[in-house]
Amino acid sequence: MASKDESRFIISGGPEPQNITEGFGSMGAFVRNRMRRNGNDVAVIDGVYGTEVQYLELLEQSVRLAECLRTLAGIRVGDVIGIVSENRLEFPAVLFGALFVGATVAPINLTYSERELEHAFSLSKPKLIFVSPFSADRVVAAARRNRHIVQKVVLFGDENPFVEGQDQRDVVLFEEFQRPVTFVNPLNFYIPTVDIDQHVALIMCSSGTTGLPKGVQLTHANLLASIALLEESSNLMEPPPGGIVLLGVLPWFHAYGCMTLINVICNKQKLVSLPKFEEGLFLSCIENYRCTMIFVVPPLVVFLAKHPLVDSYDLSSIDTLLCGAAPLSKETEDLVKARLNVRHVRQGYGMSETTLATLVQNGECHKSGSVGKVQIGTLAKVIDPETGKLLGPNQHGELCFKGSQIMKGYIGNEKATRETIDQDGWLHTGDVGYYDEDFEFFIVDRLKELIKYKGFQVPPAEIEAILLTNPKVKDAAVIGLPDEAAGELPLAFVVKQDGVDISEAEIKKYVADRTSPAKRLHGGVRFIAEIPKNLSGKILRRELRAMLQTIKSKL
C-alpha cells in the first residue's frame, strides 16, 4: 500500500465513463443492441473479394450461428468455442454468436504447430473449434488427440478433405453445421445474463518468458470497459472529413486485432479487413476504399515510409496511423509523415493482459518517443523492481497498471496470475519505462526477456527448450537481434556437442519444423564455446548482446 507521500506518484487517467454496460447484463446483449442501432451501415468489408457485410446482416448471421451452437451443438453458458482462422467474414459471426449464448471464445494463432495447438486446446478446453483450411490439417490432428476436450471441428470453406477413409463425424463444413437452422429473429433471441465481472468472454494466448503461451482471461467487464474507453478517447480526437474508414491487417486471433474488431463493431465504424499483409493488396485497399485510419505495427510503418511501391498508389486519404505492439522510432515516424502527409501517427501501449491500450496518444501534441498518457479509467505507477518503491518523474522502473481493463488472470495458472497481479490489484508489466513532468510515458526496456518479432511475442525459453532436444546441441540461448523492419529477429547462440558437426541450416530447420513462423530463427545461428550464465544458472543475455555487438564491429 502506498503511503500518503508516495501516492502523489500514482498517475490517474481520470474516471471511466459512467454506466459502461448501458443497462445490459452481458457483452452479448450489449453488442446486439449496438448492431441493431447501427442498422444498414456497412460494418466489415473483405478487402480481398470486396464483399460487404452490413451491421444488421452481421447481427442475423451471428444470431443464426448462436442458435446452431445452442440447439445443435448443446453449447451453454461457460462452454468454450475455439477459432483458428485468418481474418475472414465468418470470424465475427462466430465470435459474436458465441457471446450471444454466453460462451467463452478462444481465438488461437492459425500458424501454431500441432504441439502449440495441443497446448492451446489444453488451456482453453474448447468443445467446438471453427477452423479455416489454412490450418485445418494441424487443428484436426491436434483435436483428434484431444477427443476428451474437442467434440467437433467446423471447417470454413467449400471442401472437407477429411471425408475419405476417415471417421469424419468430428469434422463438418460451416454451411452443413448451420443448415438445420434457417432464420431466427435477432431481437427475440434469448441472451443470458452473466456476472460481467467474473464471466470470461475471451481467452487470448499470451507468450510467457518461461515457455509455451498462457491463457489470458478477459471478462465481459474488461471488454465493455475497453469499448467505453475507446469511445471516450475517440471523442477527444477530431474525426477526418467523411468519417472513419479503418484498414485492418492485424490478425483477429491477436488481442490487438480482436479488440479492434470488437471496438469497430460497437463504435459504428467501417472496417476493411485483410487476411494477411500483401504489398499491392494493402495499398490498393487504402486507395480504393479511401481508408482514413490504418492499424499498424512498426514494420508496416517502415514499409509505408520507405518502399518504392508506395509511390504508385494514391494514399492521400490516410489521416491517422495507429501504431502498437512494439515501439516505433522517431526517425520512422518523421519519414512516414513527410512522405504521406499523414496528420497523425499515434502510438499506444498495452498488452493482452490489459485488454487493449493503457497508454494512448490523444490530442494534437505528443513528444518524440512517447507512448502517450494514461488512459481514462486507469491508474499507473512506476516502481523500483527490486524494492517496490514508487518512483517519481524521469525515474526508470517497472510500469504497473490498475483499472477495469486488467485481466481476470491466467486460466489454470494461479501462480503466474499472482506473480503478475499483486494483492492490491496492480498488474506488473515487466516493462521498464518512466513518465516525465507532463505525465507522458516512455518505454525504455523490458524486464521480461520476450522478443518482439513483427508485433508477435516470442519467448526465448521456448526456442531454447526446443534446441536442447536436439542431440547434437549441448547448450543454447536465444536473444532478439534488432531489425528495423521486424523489430527483433530471434537469434540462437549454440554450443555443439563434443565431436559432432551440425550446420546453421540444420538448426534453423529443426526449430522451423517445431514452431510457428514468428518463433523461427530469422536472426540466424552463432556457434560459441560456452553460454554465459550466472552462479544460479541464469543465462546472461546482456553478455550475449555485447558479444553480438563485438562480432558486428569486426565485420
pLDDT in tens, 106-148: 999 998 999 999 999 999 999 999 999 999 999 999 999 988 9
Sequence length of the chain is 555
pLDDT in tens, 24-46: 999 999 999 999 999 999 999 99
Could you tell me if 520 and 463 are in contact, meaning their C-beta atoms sit under 8 angstroms apart?
no
Q: In this predicted model, which residue has the larger pLDDT, 159 or 258?
A: 258
Residue 399 has pLDDT above 80, yes or no: yes
CATH architecture of 451-553: 2-Layer Sandwich (3.30)
pLDDT digits (tens, 9 = 90+) for 288-302: 999 999 988 777 888
Reported as a pLDDT band with limits 50, 70 and 90, residue 165 is very low
Residue type, 326: A
Of residues 142 and 540, more confidence is placed in 142
Domain locations in the chain as residue ranges: 11-16+273-285+294-446, 28-38+55-219, 451-553
On average, the pLDDT of the chain sits at 89
Q: Position of cell 460497437?
A: 266
Name the DSSP letter for residue 118: H
Contact by Cβ (8 Å): 188, 438 = no
Which of 179-183, 264-268, 542-546 is the least confident region?
A: 542-546
Q: How many CB atoms lie within 10 A of CB 204?
A: 26
pLDDT score, position 1 = 58
The answer to whether domain 28-38+55-219 has CATH 3.40.50.980 is: yes
- Give the pLDDT band of residue 449 (cuts 50, 70, 90): confident
Say what percent of the chain tops pLDDT 90.
62
Among 89-93, 149-153, 209-213, name the one with the lowest average pLDDT. 209-213
11-16+273-285+294-446 and 451-553, same CATH topology:
no
Q: Is the pLDDT of residue 516 over 60?
A: yes
Distances (CA, A) of 480 to 56, 274, 333, 524: 46, 28, 22, 10
Residue 226: its H or E element: helix 220-235
Q: How far apart are CA 428 and CA 17, in angstroms?
A: 25
| Beta strands per DSSP E along 315-450 | 320-323, 344-350, 357-360, 373-374, 378-383, 397-403, 409-410, 427-435, 441-446
Kindly report the pTM of this predicted structure.
Answer: 0.83
CA angle 248, 128, 126 (to 5 degrees): 85
User: How open is the CA angle 430-366-10, to the nearest 5 degrees?
Assistant: 45
Q: Could you please report the per-residue DSSP string of 434-500?
A: EE-TT--EEEEEESS--EEETTEEE-HHHHHHHHTTSTTEEEEEEEEEEETTTEEEEEEEEEEPTT-
In the structure grid, which three cell numbers stand for residue 386, read together?
A: 527490486
H-helix or E-strand containing 107?
Answer: strand 104-107
CATH number of 11-16+273-285+294-446: 3.40.50.12780
